């Protein structure tokens, strides 16, 4: 089945310099969409991305509501009406609760939950006037299962997940679909940055009963392309009657769908 609904449409992608974000930008462009891709200035400096007639890159701090609104406005002025949005920007924190400073908690909440609010609210407002659009928020399977040393991250993703479902309920009357992707362990720099040695992947796949963590039944990590493919489906015409869904893409790691 060939996914449709992308040709000559405009998409905005946050977190676009990350592994999942880059895969999303490539998939959207290949499908015929015009893309405004965003990430932090530091991430863009490291990536040194190239622009084209169908692609613009902009630095964006998703914690800044005014900057987010300006970015959506620029996408519409430069590329056309935005009808597709993927919010993939996020950060991880791996501290035990008792060792988590208040500042770290706030940083994670402001980025992962606050960023979701700012980005999807701006996208929803732009799409509502035309009664058309699809938004996908990249959350995490950690939003639905307790994790040791990841309370701030899990809580921020749980907030982003429920917010997106509520947003989907409100925007349904405007013909706008809002869905959530919940990836598990994915082979990206965010994942590998948590590994102490080259056995990290094997440990994740096998699981760790001592930390109350199951392994991955499929016996492999997700790739960025796996997550991008799931996002493309949720954005496509073929998912035209799907909204407020929470799709786990984790190889069965959380033993839920």
Q: Which residues form the catalytic set?
A: 153
- Closest to 77 measured CA to CA, from 177, 10, 150, 131: 10
Nearest to residue 156, comparing CAs of 82, 104, 101, 224? 104
> Taking Cα atoms as reference points, which of 85, 71, 249, 55 lies closest to residue 171?
85
Q: What is the DSSP pairing of strand 55-59 with strand 176-183? A: unpaired
Distance CA 12, CA 82 (A): 7
**Beta bridge pairs of residue 58:** 38
Give the dihedral of Cα atoms 225, 230, 231, 236; nearest 10 deg. 120
22-26: long-range pairs with CB below 8 Å, 24+:
22/47, 22/224, 23/223, 23/224, 23/225, 23/227, 23/228, 24/86, 24/88, 24/228, 24/231, 24/232, 25/55, 26/228
């Amino acid at each position: 089945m060939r996914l449709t609904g992308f040709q000559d449409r405009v998409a905005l992608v946050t977190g676009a310099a990350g592994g999942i974000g880059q895969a999303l930008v490539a998939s959207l462009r290949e499908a015929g969409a015009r893309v405004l891709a965003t990430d932090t200035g530091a991430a863009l400096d490291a990536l040194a991305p190239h622009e084209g007639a169908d692609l613009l890159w902009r630095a964006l701090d998703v914690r800044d509501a005014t900057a987010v609104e300006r970015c959506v406005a620029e996408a519409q002025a430069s590329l056309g009406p935005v009808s597709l949005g993927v919010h993939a920007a996020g950060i991880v924190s791996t501290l035990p609760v008792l060792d988590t400073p208040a500042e770290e908690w706030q940083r994670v909440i402001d980025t992962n939950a606050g960023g979701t609010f700012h980005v999807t609210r701006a996208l929803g407002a732009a799409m509502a006037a035309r009664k058309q659009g699809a938004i996908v928020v990249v959350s995490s399977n950690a939003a639905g299962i307790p994790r040791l040393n990841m309370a701030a991250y899990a809580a921020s993703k749980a907030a982003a997940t429920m917010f997106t479902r509520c947003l989907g309920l409100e925007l349904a009357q405007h013909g706008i679909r809002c869905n959530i992707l919940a990836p598990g362990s994915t082979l990206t720099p965010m994942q590998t940055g948590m590994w102490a040695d080259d056995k990290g992947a094997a440990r994740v796949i096998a699981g760790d009963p001592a930390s109350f963590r199951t392994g991955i039944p499929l016996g492999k990590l997700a790739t960025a392309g796996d997550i991008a493919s799931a996002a493309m489906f949720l954005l496509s015409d073929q998912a035209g009657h799907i909204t407020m869904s929470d799709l786990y893409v984790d190889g069965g790691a959380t033993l839920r769908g």
